[in-house]
Amino acid sequence: MPFAKPHTGWSTPIFFIIFLLTSLGAPAQESSNQGIIPRTDRPEISVTVRDRAGAMITAAGTVKLYRDGTPAGSAALSRGRAFFGSIPFGSYTVVIEATGYKSAQRDVNVSISMPYEVDATLQRDSADENAGGPAKPLLTPKAAEALEKTWKALGKNKLSEAEKHLNEALQLAPSHPDVLYAQGVLFLHKQNPTEAQSALEKASQMDPSNAGAFSALCMALADQGKYEQAIAPAEKSLQLDAKAWEPQWVLGEAYYHLQQYDQALKASQQAWTASNGKDPRIELLVAKSQTAVGQYEDAAQSLRDLVKRYSDHPEAETARRYLDRLAKDGKIHSN
């Protein structure tokens, strides 16, 4: 999406995991759960949705699949992509709907076992377009191609390759908000949140409809310890994409460091639910917030669950230390 974990003193930066998990550039391997889909001997349909500028659509949406007019499945649109794996042969209609955009449909005849790529460009609703101010400038085909290669390289954490393609895009469209967004994300991957902040502030100001830019901006701010400043872009990102879990995570971290523990607990629990348990560090934040509000037994249970699910993960050892401390302080009963 997608979407730079703030420094907490006990974990590594979040942005690597976030943008690795929510990569915009992994073709034909993303689903509504954003997992890697193993190839099979059955056909697959991968859907990529862009706006008129050639950028991936970040708005919430749904892709529905119909086979010979009968519903055959649906998937949430995630960072402009959706995936349908292991489908039977037949004639399909793909219907794409996204908030603030006119719906579109594409037909595809699935007759052999192979991946089928479906590309769609959505137009904004006229009312939404008028309310959103001037439209983004169009990217030239070369710039759009360079930008797409940038995202693909970022998704594979090939930073040198990503930088090469991004430099090409910057030469062709140095002030385009989508290019600046990608530049900000690259800076986050390179652990340069100050430069990321500068690029992402420009991108979000130029395109206030880009949820991903606001999400990345709040991460850049939080990664510098600017927790209070991170709250506004995190909330803006959630207004644009309520299903995103990355800005919820940042909100949880920000509120925790600002000692607003009730809000930290609420935000971290929402992030944990929305992410489907993608990262144990979110669960660790939940446990810390539960401890801060005096929910010691709940915190202990969260920590035990973390250790059970992620026994080999670095956060598991941190969870064990937290459990020991809670027991030594008499907050919980030792097992």
Write the single-letter amino acid at 65. L
- Would you list the domain boundaries of the chain? 259-335
Nearest to 95 by CA among 85, 87, 86, 103: 103
Distance of CA 218 to the CA centre of its chain: 13
| 329 vs 327: CA distance, rounded Å | 5
pLDDT by residue for the chain (335 residues), tens only, comes to: 344 333 333 333 444 334 333 333 333 333 333 333 334 467 899 999 988 767 788 777 889 888 876 888 888 888 788 889 888 898 888 889 888 888 888 888 888 988 899 988 888 765 444 444 456 677 888 999 999 999 999 988 999 999 999 999 999 999 999 999 999 999 999 999 999 999 999 999 999 999 999 999 999 999 999 999 999 999 999 999 988 899 999 999 999 999 999 999 999 999 999 988 878 999 999 999 999 999 999 999 999 999 998 888 889 999 999 999 999 999 987 65
Q: Are strands 115-121 and 44-50 parallel, antiparallel or unpaired?
A: parallel
User: Do 15 and 4 form a contact (C-beta atoms < 8 A)?
Assistant: yes
User: Do 51 and 124 form a contact (C-beta atoms < 8 A)?
Assistant: yes
Cβ neighbourhood burial of 295 (10 Å; 0-12, 13-18, 19+): middle
H or E stretch covering 182: helix 177-189
Q: What is the pTM of this model?
A: 0.63
